[in-house]
Chains A and B, each alone.
Chain A
Amino acid sequence: MTRRIARLFGRGGDLNPRNLRLGVWAWLIQRISGFILVLFVIAHVIAISQANLALTGPLFTMLDGLRNPFWAVDRTVLVIDLLMLGMIAFHGMNGIRIVMFDIGLGVGLRSHKVIFWSLIAIGIVASGIVIFYGLPLLGGS
């Protein structure tokens, strides 16, 4: 195991940051963000369920109680939620690129890079919209 890791990250290794090109970074970040997002989904379900069941009312009456201005929301939770939003945006947009690649759309090396950065731009805009309209709610998830 240790030897395998050393081979992967050592000089000339597949995962040595010096040898990583854009596509490998995308692959690596896709996997890491995916793994973290699973933990987030489960934590999210547990948190929402507990709060919801304690109130015994519909889910969104509970969410109404969390409409605080963002400066009043717990900063740690806010930072975690912003990180999650970024990961969701990246994972989703890069996922579109992967599906496009798998079905053979825009497979040229140059066009694929253009598609990647265009999707990242869309992800940033979408995140901006969620932050602009949803920041008061983010701390409550």
Chain B
Amino acid sequence: MTASGPSSGNVWLWLFQRITAVLLIVVLGLHLWLVNFGQASASLRAVLGVILLGLALFHGLNGVRTVILDFNVGIQGRKLVTVILLLLGAASLLFGMHGLWPLIVGG
């Protein structure tokens, strides 16, 4: 069992971490391609932006949670870390959607 494996928390979170990892490689590749060659409609870029935002925030913040929980912060610490990261994720998601908004309504 690896340190980042199912033993360190919820098995669904572990599974979603792997699924978002694979999806991120595909969507991030598309993102870099679009930024460089930019041959897609605004609506496609908006959809891609929202998907990338959600995937990156979940994968990133859940990864941070895994790393912090590996330091044995206790049950109270685990709850605190989870709540803080959820709030940070929600705030970042809203801010990102706010930034993408012209693309979403314009597409």
Contact = CB atoms under 8 A, between A and B. Distances in A.
A92 B24 contact: yes
Contacts of B18: 99, 102
B36 A137 contact: yes
A82 interface: no
B60 A49 contact: no
Contact of A52 (B38, B61, B99): B99
Contacts of A96: 22, 25
B9 interface: no
Contacts of B101: 53
Contacts, number: 89
A98 B67 CA distance: 15
Interface size classification for chain B: 35 or more
B21 A99 contact: yes
Nearest to B96: A45
Interface string A68-112: 000000000000000000001000100110110110000000000
Interface of A: 27, 31, 34-35, 37-38, 41-42, 45-46, 48-50, 52-53, 56-60, 63, 88, 92, 95-96, 98-99, 101-102, 130, 133-134, 137
Interface of B: 2-5, 18, 21-22, 24-25, 28, 32, 35-38, 42, 45, 49, 53, 56-57, 60-61, 63-64, 67, 88, 92, 95-96, 98-103, 106-107
